[in-house]
Amino acid sequence: MKPAPFEYVRPGSIAEACELLASDEDARVISGGQTLIPMLAMRLARPARLVDIYRLPELNGIRVDGDVLAIGATTRQVQVERSVVARDALPLLAKALPWVGHPPTRNRGTVGGSVAHADPSAEIPLVAVTLQAEIEITNPDGVSTMPADDFFIGPMLTAVMPGDCVTGVRFPIWRQARIGTGFYEVSARQSDFAFVAAAAQVAMDDSGKCVDAALGIGGVGDRAMRLDVSGLIGGSFDKASITDMVREATHVLEPTSDLHASAEYRLRVAVTLGVRALEDAIKDAQVGSDRAVHGGAQ
């Protein structure tokens, strides 16, 4: 099937891109095109105009900005995957990226494209929600940021308004002495859409005491969710207590059923993967050496 007719525009600046988007409510942004192009071919998306931001240099790059890892929207996923700066500053994202699509799609797919598409099973949005990242949005009025938890509303649905363009993601960098991460997902094949995914990050001080913990679950409901595992801070690390905590935390989830998995299965697997991810993160933080975060850009 061929796409429905559309106008293609390549703006020279992000300001021009925002003006084009604001002037046409049927306009869509295209960057790497790894999601939008198949949707166009199947006529699941029928924009009147495509605004191509892929070659805007100001939207590409990875840099440490104080206590934030800033990633431009058009930065290719493979760039982040290979970046020493990103790996040192954001080990959880580094652990999740090999599960994002397949190598050919990561070569073209962008970080901003994955965030803007808002697939409930996508790994980059899951990490963003888990770590409470900020989504950078630019429109004709200027630049603002929005918490990832507010940005994602539902399946392929975000808080982006006409004229808005996702221009970057700002991930907080944990600066504690020891950081551990864990990531698991279940899918038909590795790198296919996740039926359930779990991402965890734990921080410990020099004495081995947990000082911060985060757990996110994706693929279960209509968007990724960060769960409350604050009970780990200064608490026990035995499997029984972790399992009880995760089981209690998953009560906020609203699992869905489809052809791939039932709601009951998703909820059960969410608990199992959540526990495993936290256990890995705790072990990683306990045995790992201190990680130095390097400044600069890549």
Q: Tell me the pLDDT tens digit for each residue of 18-33.
A: 999 988 888 888 887 7
Q: Mean pLDDT over residues 84-105, rounded?
A: 95
Tokens representing residue 237 in the block: 């690390």
Note the pLDDT of residue 124: 97
Query: How many Cβ atoms sit within 10 Å of the Cβ of residue 149?
Result: 17
Q: What is the spatial distance between Cα 34 and Cα 30, in angstroms, rounded to a whole number?
A: 9
The phi and psi torsions of 171 (rounded to 5 degrees) equal -95, 130
Rounded (10°) CA dihedral 197, 43, 50, 31 = 30
Euclidean distance between CA atoms 89 and 62, whole angstroms: 11
Answer yes or no: same fold for 7-52 and 57-172. Answer: no
Q: Give the pLDDT score at 288.
A: 64
Cβ-based neighbour number of residue 258 at 10 Å: 9
What pLDDT was estimated at residue 291? 45
**3-state SS class at 19:** helix
- pLDDT tens digit sequence for 225-244: 999 999 999 877 899 999 99
Domain-by-domain residue ranges, the chain?
7-52, 57-172, 179-287
Q: How many CA atoms lie within 13 A of 26 on its CB side?
A: 10
Question: What CATH number should be reported for the domain whose range is 179-287?
Answer: 3.30.390.50
Check pLDDT > 70 for residue 105: yes
Q: For the domain covering 57-172, report its CATH number.
A: 3.30.465.10
Pairing, β 134-139 against β 165-172: antiparallel
Give the confidence band of 45 by pLDDT, cuts at 50, 70, 90: confident
Nearest CA to 77 among 14, 123, 138, 118? 123
Q: Over the Cα atoms of the chain, what is R_g?
A: 19
Say if domain 7-52 classifies as CATH 3.30.43.10: yes
Q: State the pLDDT confidence band at 40, using cuts at 50, 70 and 90.
A: confident
Helix (H, G, I), strand (E, B) or coil at 187: strand
- What is the model's pLDDT at position 1? 63
Nearest to 298 by CA among 112, 61, 27: 61
